[in-house]
Structure 1
Amino acid sequence: MRILIGLGAALALWVGAAEAQDRRSSHCIALAEAPGITYLHKASFRDPVAEHAVRISYISHASFLIQSHDGIDVVTDYTGFLGATDFVPDVVTMNHAHSTHWTANPDPAIPHVLPGWGDYGLGIEHHLDLGSMLVRNVSTDIRSYGGIEEKGNSIFVFEVAGLCIGHLGHLHHEPNPAQYAALGRMDVVMAAVDGGMSLDVVTMMRVLRNLKAQVVIPMHWFESWTLEAFLTGMSDEYLIERNAGSSLTVSLRDLPKQPTIKVLMPRFLQDPE
């Protein structure tokens, strides 16, 4: 969709600080050796994160909370509502394929609001260096008004604790060779498995096999059959781990010998009583 002039100006102000920074090199693109990963479970989102680890909590739809050990909090595909909490993240990312992936009125207390789109057809570029975390994007195309809007969405990459974490967003096409190269190594990937509103299951499976992430977290599934079709299609190469919980903690230790799909249950944030 086209962005109103006023909204575009506001978004430009939100991202100006990120664009002004000197750039740190991406270790996800540069590193040749893949480190390992370890799971820890059942932590409240308000609890501290272990050193050298990252906590990922599935909030809803395509929204995840990604937290570093030193207190950086990022929410993906931010819609303006996180749950029964006054929690304010440091960074939010958004995509505009549908209104369930962005908001025109983000909380003004959020320091960094990163839209995955820019002026129509031109895309946008983010390279936000927060010290212990680097947030960057790779622009992708979206279906729009019966056609294609070039660079209308983004895949966001979060480089933290030595991990390369990718959120594929509302992906509408398989990345081309240049986009795959720009993504670099992926350790953890959040992938839409709705069966067609984003990518069809077969294409999404091919994308994930090309990315070779050791951990895949399904998202954006509306009916259980779309999730099950995805899990069945991937079960020949991936271990399937189901968990009634909504979060996991990952760290650089002992990569699984076999890539793993980790099924999390979405849950809005709620402050401990």
Structure 2
Amino acid sequence: MLSRYLILAITFLLAPLTTAYAQLAERPSTCLAMAQSLPRVIYANFRVAAAGDEVKITYAGHSTYVIETPAGVRIATDFSGYFGSDPLPDVVTMNKAHSTHHTLYPDPAIKHVLQGWGSEEEPAKHSLVVEDVYIRNVTTDIRRFGYAEKDGNSIFIFEVAGLCIGHLGHLHHPLDNSHYAAIGRLDVLMVPIDGGLTMSLENMSEITRRLSSSIVLPMHRNATPLSAFTSRMDNEFDLDFRDSPSLTVSMRNLPRRPTVVILQGV
């Protein structure tokens, strides 16, 4: 278990730098796992979570989870303005596949509005520190009106209290090795399970298994039976139904066996 938490790659052994690391040069990631493609990497931890550091995660609706950090930073994912807006978040992330995942008119009082899409010339690239959380993104393509739009979606990753928390956004295609290298380790994974508007459940469950997160939080379920996703994970993941829309997570209380956690409202 120790290796899950001691994960910072010392990059002076690596030549040349990968694209995944180069885009994060502003601040090395504690969650970036590159051992498979880059041999002889040495891992160390540049930040050890303090005793009692806990992150609160609340399911607000659709694809919006609200993440509250130990320092009190409030983050709403795939923010459309309908969910997670009260109280107003400090940071919102957005994707543009559908209007239920973004808003063109965010409240100007929101300090950081992070769009998951860029321009035709430049994909979205985020590397932002807000108090005790480091936020970065990995872009993927989306399908729009019958054609593929390159880098139209972002997987957002939140590094806080020693934890690596990832939100797949409105993911439309399988991930390749370069995506997995850029994502790195994820302790908590937020995964859409609609089975159609994003990806098939077969492909989504394959991604979930490969990322092998300690906690998997389904979202974007629509009318899909929960069992359609959870039955695909039975042999490798435990199942935990909660009677609350919130849970608190720390490095100390991650489950020993990967677990799909169904929060109230999902």
Does the C-alpha gap of structure 1 residues 172 and 125 become closer, same or farther in structure 2, counting only changes over 3 Å?
same
- What corresponds to 1:12 in structure 2? none
Distance, in Å, in 1 between the alignment partners of 2:121 and 2:59 is: 31
TM-score (norm 1): 0.79
Whole-angstrom distance in 2 between the partners of 1:203 and 1:121: 30
Helix, strand or coil: the match of 2:172? coil
1:114 equivalenced with 2:149 (yes/no): no
Is contact 2:193-2:224 (8 Å) kept? no
Residue 251 and residue 223 in structure 1: after superposition, are their counterparts in 2 closer, same or farther (change >3 A)?
same
Contact 2:76 2:84 in 1 (8 A): no
Shift of 1:265: 2.2
Give the distance between the partners of 1:212 and 1:221, measured in 2 at CA.
Answer: 20
User: Which amino acid in structure 2 is aligned with residue 252 of structure 1?
Assistant: M
Question: TM-score, with normalisation over the residues of structure 2?
Answer: 0.81
1:190-205 alignment runs, 5 A limit = 190-205=190-205
Task: Name the CA distance, whole Å, in 2 between partners of 1:121 and 1:242.
Answer: 44
Does 2:249 match 1:246?
no
Deviation of 1:83 (Å) = 6.3
Letter in structure 1 aligned against 2:108? P
User: 1:7-156 alignment to 2 at 5 Å?
Assistant: 23-29=26-32, 51-82=52-83, 85=86, 87-120=87-120, 122-156=122-156
Distance 1:264 1:32 in 2: 33
Indicate the SS of the match to 1:164. strand
Q: Matched residue of 1:202: which SS?
A: helix
User: What is the deviation of 1:195?
Assistant: 1.0
Q: Deviations over 1:38-86 (max 9, x none)?
A: xxxxxxxxxxxx941100000000001000111111000111123684x
The residue that corresponds to 1:44 in the other structure is: none
Q: Which residue of 2 aligns with 1:7?
A: none
For the pair 1:263 / 2:262, whether they are aligned, the reply is: yes
Check conservation: 1:117, 1:154, Cα contact below 8 A: yes
AA in 1 matched with 2:30:
H
1:78 to 1:84, Cα distance in 2 relative to 1, 3 A: closer
Question: Is the contact between residue 241 and residue 263 of structure 1 (CA under 8 Å) also seen in structure 2?
Answer: yes
Aligned-residue RMSD, C-alpha: 2.2
Structure 1 segments unaligned to the other structure (5+ residues): 1-20, 35-49, 268-273
How many angstroms does 1:120 deviate by?
3.2
Runs (4 or more) in structure 1 with deviation over 2 Å come to: 30-34, 81-85, 254-257
Matched pairs, number: 230
Question: Which deviates more, 249-258 or 200-209?
Answer: 249-258
Distance in 1 between residues matched to 2:242 and 2:216, nearest whole Å: 13
Cα distance in 2 between the residues matched to 1:261 and 1:110:
31
1:191-236: CA deviation from partner (whole Å, max 9, x where unpaired): 00001110100100110111110100000001252x2110111111
- Show the counterpart of 1:8: none
Q: Retained in 2: the 8 A contact 1:123–1:153?
A: no
The gaps in structure 2 that reach 5 residues or longer are: 1-23, 34-41, 46-50
Distance across 2 between alignment mates of 1:207 and 1:249? 24
**Separation in 2, partners of 1:161, 1:143:** 35
**What is the alpha-carbon distance in structure 1 between the residues aligned to residue 100 and residue 85 of structure 2?**
18
Structure 2 residue matching 1:27: 3-state secondary structure:
coil
SS class of match (1:234): coil
Distance in 2 of aligned mates of 1:254 and 1:67? 17
CA distance in 1, matches of 2:75, 2:52: 17
Structure (1 or 2) with the greater helix fraction: 1
Gap change, CA 1:179 and 1:32, over 3 Å in 2: same
**Does the alignment pair 1:229 with 2:228?**
yes
Identity %: 46
Relative contact order (C-alpha < 8 Å, sep 6+): which is higher?
1
Letter of the 1:27 counterpart: T
Give the superposition deviation at 1:122.
Answer: 3.6
